[in-house]
Amino acid sequence: MMENQSGPNVEENLAIIRKNIAHAMEKSGRSDSVRIMAVTKTVSPERVNQALALGIDLIGENRVQELIEKYDSYDRKKCEIHFIGHLQTNKVKYIVDKVDMIESLDSIRLAEEIERQCKRIGRTMKVLVQVNAGREESKYGVYPEDVPGFMEKVSYFPHLRVQGLMAVVPKCKEYAEICKYFMNMNHLFLDSRLKNIDNINMVCLSMGMTNDYGLAVENGATIIRIGRGLFGERPKAL
Ligand SMILES: *Cc1c(COP(=O)(O)O)cnc(C)c1O
């Protein structure tokens, strides 16, 4: 993996990622497309802009503070911004005018606040339901079995547009184990689509990161979220 500070290697890294995606698509017989999200935590706006210049058109932000600090420096005409970190309800107001999608919708309370803030500024917000695929206590997200009921509730918020699911999966040692989580997510995604709920359009399945995105693509991911694989290792503990 390339070093964070030194590398002009975003270009090389991106080429590798594209090749791996193509391989996974072929292996699984997919002919649709996968979007690469550049996950920008700890990465300078200059380096993010470099990725945008190379054709990345989607960036993922984890932290409200960091998003606010970097927002004006981004070459935003070239990209969409998705919020992907845990979002506290009292911070929603700082980002509703800045992001194109909130992928980390994990509670009805948060949905209520997004609804309130979007109504205030007169816009709708695309959201993904964050799924805690391994039912881990340490992680945020709706448990898989609660997703249908959760989506039904969110469908009644006039300023929210559910577009799909965002998966958080446990760290796994075995390939087969992580594969199982991705397959389950894909089933949940496709089942939800079949339900045809009003105001819900199941088009995004956001799953897979640097270590497992190939497997995620094989299992139907439409957005993969890549940090280290593009920009290099992050400083420790982030
Ligand atoms: C950091 C992060 C990623 C990217 O992780 P990498 O291993 O660096 O690719 C993806 N999704 C979320 C929610 C993250 O916080």
User: Which amino acid residue places its CA nearest to atom 10 of ligand 1?
Assistant: 225
H-assigned helices in the chain: 10-28, 45-53, 64-71, 92-95, 108-121, 147-154, 175-195, 213-218, 228-231
CB-ligand 1 contact for 227 (6 Å cutoff): yes
Phi then psi for residue 119, to 5 deg, are -60, -40
Give the Å distance between the CA of 152 and the centre of ligand 1: 28
Phi then psi for residue 208, to 5 deg, are 100, 130
The pLDDT confidence band at residue 31, using thresholds 50, 70 and 90, is very high
Q: How far apart are CA 198 and CA 152, in angstroms?
A: 9
- The whole-number pLDDT of residue 8 equals 53
Pick from 230, 226, 228, 225: nearest CA to 8: 230
Helix (H) or strand (E) holding 137: none
> Which tens digits make up the pLDDT trace of 211-223?
999 999 999 999 9
- The whole-number pLDDT of residue 211 equals 94
In the chain, how long is the greatest CA-to-CA distance?
49
- The whole-number pLDDT of residue 108 equals 98
Q: Residue 83 pLDDT > 90, yes or no?
A: yes
Q: Residue 1 pLDDT > 60, yes or no?
A: no
User: Which amino acid residue places its CA nearest to atom 5 of ligand 1?
Assistant: 227
User: What residues does 206 pair with on adjacent strands?
Assistant: 166, 223
* Closest ligand 1 atom, residue 225 Cα: 10
Give the Å distance between the CA of 196 and the centre of ligand 1: 30
Q: Residue 4 pLDDT > 70, yes or no?
A: no
- The whole-number pLDDT of residue 173 equals 87
> Which tens digits make up the pLDDT trace of 98-147?
999 999 999 999 999 999 999 999 999 999 999 999 999 999 999 999 99
